[in-house]
Amino acid sequence: MTEDIGATIAAWWRTELRPGEDTPAARALRARLRRAETGPEVLAQRQVHDLVAKAPWLRHRPLDLIRLVQVLARVEGNDPRSLARLLGAGDPPAMSRARFEALVRSEAADLPRALRRALPLTDGRCNVAALARDVLNWDDPERGEKIRQDWFFEYFNALRMDGAGGVKDTEISQ
């Protein structure tokens, strides 16, 4: 896979779910995806198949595709910061430590519900490309553990990384 799947999915999100000028079609699609209770309800949307046309391998991961688009239907805006960093920002953090730990421990099947509860705490904003990559690889045997570790680092170091009296990650030399 040579293309950046996160960028591909973020472009689809921007076109289909959150176009610059919100359209009735985009609002209706978001509503159908948010209300969908079964996979066929999600897969019955033409726009979901437009995403599969851009990333054909998603056809072979229908459960991941369904989870992904249901989560993205709840994202209100793109932000350069990751969801974990936004959840850890503030004093106290936007999401409590206990809730955050429960979120990170979620299995892939429970992840959309946990993210639906987390997104309102960031006004529905996060880095769409990063969230997409993470949702798709959440339970991957090779990448899932690293994703969870990265989320912990982002959450617990949010204040330092966002300039509240600490070292930014770009200032550390290796």
User: In order of start, what are the domains of the chain with their CATH numbers?
Assistant: 5-162 (1.10.520.40)
pTM (2 d.p.): 0.89
The DSSP secondary-structure symbol of 1 reads -
- Cβ atoms 86, 126 nearer than 8 A: yes
Classify the phi-psi angles of 123: left when phi > 0, otherwise alpha if psi is within -120 to 50, otherwise beta: left
Beta-carbon neighbour count of residue 161 at 10 Å? 20
Q: What SS3 string covers 34-68?
A: HHCCCHHHHHCCHHHHHHHHHCHHHHHCHHHHHHH
pLDDT tens track, the chain, 174 positions: 436 999 999 999 999 999 999 999 999 999 999 999 999 999 999 999 999 999 999 999 999 999 999 999 999 999 999 999 999 999 999 999 999 999 999 999 999 999 999 999 999 999 999 999 999 999 999 999 999 999 999 999 977 766 554 444 433 333
End-to-end CA distance of the chain: 29
Q: What is the dihedral of CA 65, 121, 168, 72, to 10 degrees?
A: 20
